[in-house]
């Protein structure tokens, strides 16, 4: 986030790891106006739909290339846009 500041109100999808629950990390996200997407404790199905989407996206789209590299954001949107 320091190298390339994100757009305001971007969403971060996090697991419940301690590094993502700590005050310093949460303060950094707050400073950049990030929205946190984090499952509730003990609810492993809370983010099941999002996990399923990204799993399918990775296997159906990203694994078609040895290493997906795009010239710029417009190229990535053109290539990956139809999936979404």
**Each residue's pLDDT tens digit, 30-63:** 887 777 776 666 666 666 777 788 788 778 777 7
pLDDT given for residue 14 in this prediction = 67
CA distance 10 to 31: 12
Cβ 37 vs Cβ 14: under 8 Å: yes
Same domain, residue pair 54 and 70: yes
Same domain, residue pair 56 and 38: no
Same domain, residue pair 35 and 55: no
Q: Which tens digit of pLDDT belongs to each residue from 5-15? A: 667 667 776 66
Over range 72-79, report the average pLDDT.
Answer: 87
Same domain, residue pair 34 and 57: no
56-67 burial code (b ≥16 CB/10 A, e <16): eeeeeeeeeeee
Same domain, residue pair 3 and 38: yes
What's the number of domains the chain is made of? 2
Same domain, residue pair 20 and 56: no
CA distance 68 to 30: 31
Q: Which domain holds residue 57?
A: 47-84
83/52: higher pLDDT:
52
Same domain, residue pair 12 and 26: yes
């Amino acid at each position: 986030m320091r190298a390339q500041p994100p757009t305001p109100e971007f969403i971060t999808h996090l697991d419940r790891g301690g590094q993502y629950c700590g005050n310093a990390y949460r303060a950094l996200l707050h400073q950049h106006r990030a929205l946190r997407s984090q499952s509730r404790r003990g609810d492993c199905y809370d983010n099941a739909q999002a996990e399923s989407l990204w799993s399918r996206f990775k296997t159906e789209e990203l694994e078609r290339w040895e290493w997906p590299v795009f010239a710029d954001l417009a190229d990535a949107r053109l290539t990956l846009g139809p999936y979404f």
